[in-house]
Amino acid sequence: MSELLQEVRVFAPASVANVSCGFDVLGFALEQPGDEIVARRKDEPGLHISKITGEGGVLPTAVEKNTAGVAAQKLLEHLGSQQGIELEIHKKMPLGSGLGSSAASSVGAIVAINRLLGSPCADHDLLPFAAEGERVACGTAHLDNVAPSLFGGFVLIRSQDPPDVIELECLKPLFATVVHPDIEIKTEDTRNILRRDVALHKAVDQWGNVGGLVVGLLKGDYELIGRSLKDVIIEPIRSVLIPGFEQVKNAALNAGALGSGISGSGPSIFALSATRENGHKIAKAMQQRFDEIGLGNEAYVCKINQQGPQILEER
């Protein structure tokens, strides 16, 4: 039995989904924050969540109610594995922040288990199981958080069903600033306030910008990226749920951001920039605006995460 891994600890990154014009189709991974998941072999059969830390006790440890649990269970069923496994979930980011917290836990769990079991699946083939976790968290299996968390980098979800995920290698360095104000918005609520229909001319603007953003990334054209980071459909509706949104976004742009928008379904606000130095300057400007309206907040500045999850420890 000495060749079998007994325990694997994985870091799975947070991610920014709904990138401006790319509602439901564009997302990218962050270097920080991210969750840590431990998967450990146990003699007793079945999958168990033995410990969850960092979330104030609000997440369910029942496997079938926990997004990471569901994702892990789906993977084990697919593999036909009878191995007893316990999971520890160490949340390292706020819940309901718009940073793909549930996706990170799902991705971490399946990557850890896959590794523990000797990597029977290629990393890319793990996507459907992570998507099942999202179905529990959001009601639908949206991929724009799980795909960047699993693959790293900037991704385009060309199609949710069947899944068609396209990795977009940005030709130039790209840095993300994300500021999370200390309020919680439920993804479900942010879905419910969206209109079922959109004006055709706005949809045209949006898909022109999606095209522009994709070209900008692939060619490393910062100006084009900046011009394309616009959302004329979702942001005008959802931003009303985020106190100070316009001021914070404008602060980011005035500090030199290529563009800025709602991260996921909020309340976090992201901005993109060409240098780490600029990313920090932007963070400062954004935080100052939140401070001015008395809203506690936390900022992250990092390069876009190109590698996805990382194995931190295994034994």
Q: Which residues bind a second copy (CB under 8 A)?
A: 21-26, 156-160, 164, 166, 168, 194-200, 203-215, 218-219, 224, 227-228, 233
Q: How far apart are CA 242 and CA 64, in angstroms?
A: 32
**Residue 3 or 197: which CB sits closer to a second copy?**
197
**Residue 22 or 108: which CB sits closer to a second copy?**
22
**Residue 212 or 264: which CB sits closer to a second copy?**
212
For 52, list phi and psi in degrees, rounded to 5.
-130, 130
Omega before 33 within 30 of 0, i.e. cis: yes
Query: What CA–CA distances, in Å, run from 81 to 51, 73, 74?
Result: 22, 10, 11
**Residue 19 or 30: which CB sits closer to a second copy?**
19
Least separation in angstroms between residue 216's CB and a second copy is 9
**Residue 180 or 230: which CB sits closer to a second copy?**
230
Least separation in angstroms between residue 221's CB and a second copy is 9
Give the HSE-up count for residue 36: Cα atoms under 13 Å, Cβ half-sphere. Answer: 13
User: By three-state DSSP, how is residue 26 classified?
Assistant: strand
User: By three-state DSSP, how is residue 23 classified?
Assistant: coil
Q: Report the residue count for the chain.
A: 315
Query: What CA–CA distances, in Å, run from 171 to 139, 218, 245?
Result: 35, 6, 30
Q: Is 140 a catalytic residue?
A: no
Q: Is 53 a catalytic residue?
A: no
Least separation in angstroms between residue 214's CB and a second copy is 5
Q: How far apart are CA 51 and CA 149, in angstroms?
A: 22
**Residue 69 or 226: which CB sits closer to a second copy?**
226
Least separation in angstroms between residue 121's CB and a second copy is 23
Least separation in angstroms between residue 95's CB and a second copy is 25
Q: Which of 245, 176, 187, 233 lies closest to 208 in space, CA to CA? A: 233
Q: What residues contact residue 277 under an 8 Å CB cut-off, 6+ apart? A: none
Q: How far apart are CA 230 and CA 252, in angstroms?
A: 14
Identify residue 220 by its one-letter amino acid code: G
Q: Which of 162, 169, 178 lies closest to 148 in space, CA to CA? A: 169
Q: Which of 34, 30, 44 lies closest to 9 in space, CA to CA? A: 34
Q: Which of 189, 191, 207 lies closest to 199 in space, CA to CA? A: 207
**Residue 56 or 208: which CB sits closer to a second copy?**
208
State the residue for tokens 């898909």.
207
Least separation in angstroms between residue 164's CB and a second copy is 6
Least separation in angstroms between residue 128's CB and a second copy is 18
Which of 36, 187, 190, 235 is catalytic? The answer is 187
Which of 31, 134, 177, 235 is catalytic? The answer is 134
Catalytic positions, please? 134, 187
